[in-house]
Chains A and B, each alone.
Chain A
Amino acid sequence: MNTVPVNRRFVSANRRVREDRRFVTGRGRYVADVVLANALHVALVPAQYPAARIVSIDATAALAMPGVHYVLTGEELAAATEPLMNGLDTPKVQRYPLAVGQVRYAGEWVVAVAADTRALAEDAAEKVRVVYEPLPFVIDPEEAFRPGSPAVHSAHGSNVLLDKTFVWGDVDKHFAEAPRTLSFRVTWGRSSTVPIETFGVVASWDPWREILDVWASIQMPKYPEQIARSMRIPANQVRVDQDVDVGGAYGVKRGIKHTILVAHLSRRLGRPVRLIEDRLENMRAGDAQGPERIFDVDIAFNDEGIIKSMKMRALDNAGAYAGRAPFQLGKPIGAIVGPYRIESVKYVAQSVTTNKAAEEAVKGFGQSPTNYAIESAIEKVAQATGLDRVEVRRRNFIRKEEFPYLIPSGTRYDSGDYHTVVDKVLAVVDYPALLKERDRLRASGLLAGIGLAACLEPSGGNSAFEPLLNEKNKTSTWMESCRINVDGTGCITTTIHTLSSGQGHETLVATVIGEVLEINPDLIRVVRPDSLACLPSNAPVGSRMAIMLGGAAFHAAQKLKAKLVTIAAHQFGVSEDTLSYSGGGVSHGVSGKRFDWADLVNIAHRNFHLLPQGMEPGLETTHVMQVPTGTKLPENGRVQMYPCHSFEFHVVLLTIDPLLGKPEIRRYVIGHDCGTVINPHIVKGMTLGGIAHGIGAALFEEFVYDEQGQMTTQSLMDYLLPSSHEVPKVEIVHHCTPSPHTVFGQKGAGESGYMGAPAAMSGAINDAVAPLGISFAKLPIRVSAIGDAVAAAQVSNEKKI
């Protein structure tokens, strides 16, 4: 399908990102900048207990305050709306924007106050008196999994949302015959991607036009549909403004509960209503917290370090409600063996409710935690066999000539050349020299380690995990669209049908259309119709837009080009295959005659008498694109998950001061292969930003709950984000293995860096402390944990001597 010659003018060129101009001047349009006349502001009353029955709510004092207009309870909201959507078939695990009858985590929203200003709403929220009767609660996922643990949703009967075992291949036989096996546990702490912009939404119901207008900081597929369903209104009464800039999303900007809350208030009060979370609301009860996961892994391998089979149990702490979070156990099934030739896999996917805030989607949708578990396995096999860690990876890698490669769980990897990427990276870092440098640092009295990680970024997101984990769900369609309109003056305007949160989609679409039509992309206007004027879209999730939006734009442009050629052929009275398109015009090779862009536009717009019979006037084309390879529902627990698979290989050298326990990254190199790069600046930024996220997840970031079920990380002084001091300079080594499934050979890069950075950081720290006979099996690995463990090991080693 690589239909465009490799000689490209705009694709892969170092062109500027067009969105940047508005952002560097402070002219982005974020949801908080949307100011409607007469709007009310919302503040929330949070639950004080991790589990409690709501005995009574007294809002008299709050309502008596000047400027306070309404106090909304969960009872009222639940009566007026449908529960929020669950991904799994768990109808008794119901979720509404406000707690109904019972609170299920500390910080859960119990009451919403609407007032003239946010400050007044906050003042009034403090005056609302809620009487609770505390109930037993459970925080730990293993305890929650046990029968008899306090059920977060008693109507559901237990805390188990999902307990599904997949066996792909002859796992028992492979384990029985394996010369060696090993088992281990690693834990991924409850971290997230924490955008600097919190979630916000403004809603305005117009009862005469019968339309709900919504402005939101959203990154979620099917958002208008979900609003309509919960609000019990037809979907064509919901109009989401997509021309709103999102201040970072990385998976978590889901906000459906906020939206239903303000939409109901607006309908109830007849005024626009806005809710812009403050940081505390966001961290405690916004859609902010990501996966928390325990992996129990068994590996069957031999003395040569060849891994034959793997058993993986992943226990996910979904928090208090189900939502979409458990699907994050499903997506990694599409790359469950990573870049390795593991022949059989047993995968036990378990998700439980606990009395923590609900887990939401995060960048990678479960893949980065899974990659951490897989890479931990590789490290342990290397340790057990005494083989070099790179060598173990090389021996197990799928080879270039084996693609397309079918993994046991049913996904066919599109393409890759893992050995070459690793060779290139090791040449850049001079691996033997790097080992020497580590040893020199060790000799100087520091702890020093090298971290390695090789992993995949599945991309081109579909939702194949939905029917895989929920048999009632028969969704296989997962499309993206683009429309191109050339006006009567010849100017091109094109559309995208989703909001963006920094991915440069306007640049992507203009670049692709410019490439196909051979027209300067800077001349192409890109707009975002509101959701009612939109073509089908599934939002920028699953690392899909280069593939899907880029693909839709490409095909729409090809259709436009074809129409121009048809118009020209009709004028020349020749067949289309004697004509060639170049630079916006169409030429007849034999006669040397040519129609330029302006001529063809003029005919299309003004000379109906010159158009071929049956052709529609004007110059407009549309393409709705289905995910490549997305042709089937799952069969026998196997499915083709995402179509494309980018590869990354990380090498980190770090030191730890044994007295302080503080890691310092000395060198960070990543080899990255995402096929054809459409905009190098954007891909570079994604990769560097992903690594920063990964360093955060590995060293700093965790939503911590104490034994009383209270979240103790309630500000950015407790939940630490990497600053410019913590993120090192990163060197990127490029490689390009085009995907056979995409128009330019592109693959996804939106989650790059984050896929392997946590595993690489963990590997580096564990290599650094290995001489002390200790290791870390839980992320994040905090400075305090390192300091304590190193000190304890030194004391214990001295005693042994």
Chain B
Amino acid sequence: MMVKLRVNGQTHTADVEPRKSLLDTLREDFRLTGAHAGCEHGVCGACTVLLDGDAVRSCLIFAVQADGYDITTIEGLAPAPGELSVIQDAFCETHGLQCGYCTPGMILSAHTLLQRTLTPSREDILEAISGNICRCTGYGQIVEAVEIAAERLRQSNALHAAPEAVK
């Protein structure tokens, strides 16, 4: 059946089987391969994308269910070709990754957290990324990256996406 999905601000259409996951549709039909299949049963978080700003497992929802939502994938975060978002840059600064497979999901989870608050506690960060399993880093440099990104976003002149009160 035909789906019309809004991904990273652009509208994509595809003819998909009703049983096709959003993950497979993003990867196969739209060639957005930044979301990865890890377990395909909702544990590892490698397939994380944002639906109306919330981090969700794209392996656990069907493409046909995602109609009408604003979908953000890792490809939608960098401001321009060759550039990095503040969070992406912070991950590079602390080397909050190794093989990179969990990284898009991890960054999207961190992005969601920092959309909600720019003063996350260590516990807030651990909770926000706890649905994203990383086998390379032991999470240490990931937590450092999110802390640095929060600090930089706090200090930046740009309008913050959401006021503190939303937390």
Find chain A residues with CB under 8 A from B94 CB.
681
Q: Tell me whether A197 and B99 are in contact (CB under 8 A).
A: yes
List, in ascending order, chain B residues with CB within 8 A of A689's CB. 98, 134-138
B95 engages A16 (CB within 8 Å):
yes
B33 touches A33 (CB 8 A): yes
Q: Does A723 sit within 8 A of B, measured CB to CB?
A: yes
B84 touches A753 (CB 8 A): no
Q: Determine if A247 is an interface residue (Cβ-Cβ < 8 Å).
A: yes
B97 and A23 form a contact (CB under 8 A): yes
- Judge whether A716 and B92 touch: CB under 8 Å: no
Whether the Cβ atoms of A730 and B140 lie closer than 8 Å is yes
**Residue B57 interfacial (CB < 8 Å):** no
Asked if A193 is at the interface of the complex by the 8 Å CB criterion, the answer is: yes
Q: Is B88 in the interface zone, CB < 8 Å from A?
A: yes
With A716-B39, A716-B41, A724-B130 as given contacts, are A502 and B136 in contact (CB-CB < 8 Å)? yes
Q: Is the CB of A197 within 8 A of B38?
A: yes
Q: Which residues of B have CB within 8 Å of A21?
A: 84, 92
Query: Which of A145-153, A470-478, A690-698 sits within the interface?
Result: A690-698
CA distance A727 to B136 in the complex (A): 12
Within the assembled complex, what's the spacing in Å between the Cα atoms of A717 and B60? Answer: 15
Tell me the bound Cα distance from A25 to B95 in angstroms. Answer: 14
**In this assembly, does A503 line the interface, its C-beta being within 8 Å of a C-beta of chain B?**
yes
Range for the number of chain B residues in contact with chain A: 35 or more
Bound-complex Cα distance A20 to B141 (A): 13
- List, in ascending order, chain A residues with CB within 8 A of B32's CB: 26
Looking at the complex, which one of B100, B131, B139 makes contact with A28 (CB distance below 8 Å)? B100
Q: Which of A317-354 contact B (CB under 8 A)?
A: none
* Closest Cβ–Cβ distance, residue A197 to chain B (whole Å): 5
Give the contacting residue for B100; candidates A198, A245, A717, A721; CB below 8 A: A245
Which chain A residue lies CB-closest to B34? A26
> B-side binding surface: helix, strand, loop or mixed?
loop
- Residues of A near B91 (CB, < 8 A) are 20, 24
B101 at the A interface (CB under 8 A): yes
In the complex, whether B35 has a CB less than 8 A from a CB of chain A is: yes
The yes or no answer to B51 lying at the interface (CB within 8 A) is: no
In angstroms, Cα B91 to Cα A356, docked, is 40
B118 near A: Cβ within 8 Å? no
Chain A residues with CB below 8 A from B125, complex form: 724
Residues of B within 8 A of A248 (CB): 98-99, 101, 135-136
Q: Interface readout for A33-47 with B: 1 if CB under 8 Å, 0 if not?
A: 101000000000000
Q: Quick check: A693 and B95 within 8 Å, CB to CB?
A: no
Number of residues on chain A facing chain B (CB within 8 A): 58
Query: Does B66 have its Cβ within 8 Å of any Cβ on chain A?
Result: no
Once the chains are docked, how many angstroms separate the CA of A689 from the CA of B136?
5
A717 in contact with B41 (CB, 8 Å): yes
Whether B78 contacts A25 by the Cβ 8 Å rule is: yes
A529 touches B (CB below 8 Å): no
Contact A685 B141 (CB under 8 A): yes
Complex CA gap A727/B103 in Å reads 18
Q: Judge if B46 is at the interface, Cβ distance under 8 Å.
A: yes
Say whether, besides A250-B135, A502-B99, A26 and B35 are in contact (CB < 8 Å).
yes
Does A486 sit within 8 A of B, measured CB to CB? Answer: no
- Cα–Cα, bound, A391→B35 (Å): 51
Complex interface bits, B125-150 against A, C-beta within 8 A gives 1, otherwise 0: 11101111111111111110000000
B98 touches A196 (CB 8 A): no
Q: How far is the CB of A685 from chain B (nearest CB, A)?
A: 5
Residue contact A196 to B100, C-beta cutoff 8 Å: no
Residues of A within 8 A of B92 (CB): 16-17, 20-21, 24
Residues A17 and B135 in contact, CB atoms below 8 Å apart: no
Query: How far apart are the CA atoms of A29 and B139 in the complex, in Å?
Result: 23
Q: What are some 6 contacts across the A-B interface (CB < 8 A)?
A: A26-B75, A119-B20, A196-B36, A247-B36, A715-B39, A723-B133
Q: A723-B130, A724-B143 are in contact. List 5 more A-B contacts (CB 8 A).
A: A19-B100, A20-B100, A24-B107, A681-B141, A724-B142
List residues of B whose CB falls within 8 A of some A CB.
Answer: 17, 19-20, 27-28, 31-41, 43-44, 46, 73-75, 77-78, 84, 88-89, 91-95, 97-104, 107, 125-127, 129-143
